[in-house]
Chain A
């Protein structure tokens, strides 16, 4: 783990994503103001903040589906707005917090949707598409349910299916909005480890929003803390994840536990 972190910080090639002076808002509420950050290949960034502090909106803005007020977001050095939607979807995947299913769909068909940015209408699903779906369902423990209807899944199974979809999409940057939602701890840790493995293997990156300080501490090497007053703190995990910082952004005392893990462990006081 320590070695992996070292490797990650060393690999300072062109940033996957660079954000300069970004300001976003939702309705009339100002969220991040003047945000600057870069995400390098191999990096993992966690976003922490209270409800309504703009975690989801920021992720949406970075994928280009939420309009930004000012500033710039660059994907591989080129302004995000200069890419077309399909190209963005090939490079950036976004795990949404809510999924809706008014229409019936089979589990494997749903996972296949992730192949859309890589497909052409005149071609049927390639063996590559099929093996990506099979692998994603295997990774998320859904192979057994492949032919079931999405409606019949439990909350955790649906979340795993949403993760399977982003795995088939196979982007360079994974934006995950509360990836641990509804998941039991085995799947939470298992899937985060799988993603961690993917990004260190092939120079990809993750940015995830979460309410779980310990998931952030364990899997992120950089942390973005969003305050409700539109200010933020961004930096290396060990500099940012301090009792004082966390207590301040949550407005609730947070204590650090004494453990022998490589990552800090916190609990609400």
Chain B
């Protein structure tokens, strides 16, 4: 049986090699397509100045050159030329992984002009006739590259992808340094791109290139060094993140967005415990963030004193941050959870949804304490002694703004929360959560007190939400009920789902993407929630494990697919044997 299968494989490889040697057309199409795309990128893309809200943008697309969105078409075109030429010259490179990577580059290349045209036609009412030849030529080039990759489908599958093996610690560290600095620079460049149409190009190119790298197995390979030199990887990342506010040259906008992303990362990590680890769908999670934020606002010195006079004792910020607000939120989590966690999972979802609405409406209605729809403004500026956070920090010759201090605070908290979460997930409690998620009846039979364990998950999730809420209240210096709507609950859920249910690094990535992307695409803020809704449906349909899945969940979700593949493989063997 095995010999038959082996010979089958060999003959399949032989057939593919014959096809390769005969059909040169797909091979030639890739570099040619790349050249066409580069030429297209050089030509003008539009005949008139496009204005968004009265401000001319992407005006440089009218001339010959590589300005604006065309830069990314140029980049992908060059990649296609080099990759295509390599495949043409080196038969040994031709395999499924390479073909898939080339295909992703081609898709990215053709998606850039399409996305750009869509924005122009759908949002800026530019007639199709006004789109210049450059965009069309680039589109044709992208299609050529993509078709070229499609023509290579019969090539043998790529070599098995795995972690890069250990060479020496120095190599690992070098690889990590290069990878992380590159990722950081790509991120910084994305922050710098102001023009929305150019950003769209950046984003499409980023998605195309990273999925090409994924199909070459680069990300899986990186897992090796990442695993072996964890500490170094973390140190490099922390160093880069500390530098981030300094790269913004005094402009606090993106630092503020980064701080908000930090807050949302905290919240998403908390929700991840509830949804990802314990498998309890919480649709009113933002209520706990709101409770934390309001607690912080009320406990903050300025707010309290103006509310009830100076007679009340001042609660220090650190006490509020780490103890009071999270505990109040956790208390509400337990209060909600205690009676409802016995319910079936889908009932729980709807109860939490109702709870989220109850909290929001209540905050809106109890004027004497929360000041109703206006919310509480001018929340105190926390500090130590004579120093307040909003003053910023200066050390030696460099100084950072107050917003950056909040960003650093978030970084510290995220580090802390991640440490706690990892300790928890390896503990008895963490394993109990997973057991309950997998099979509640079996978990109960193994002696796990399911209600108590679920309550702990709920309480822990609410605790972190309270933490996030405190930072959010001080960062925004005001709280009001309409910041804590159902939409925000869904947004946080989308972060968890997009990143990878149950996998903290994935959740962090999901939260960062879903905070920065809407800020970058402000022109489309109208359709932001439409995109979230559609994205949730599509992710569940096509990639339920998210961008960075935990190993366990990837296995779970693809177990059936793998079994089916194994089954068909077996059939194939049988047929080959007869």
Q: Do A and B bind each other?
A: no
- Using a CB–CB distance below 8 Å, which chain A residues touch chain B? none
- Using a CB–CB distance below 8 Å, which chain B residues touch chain A? none
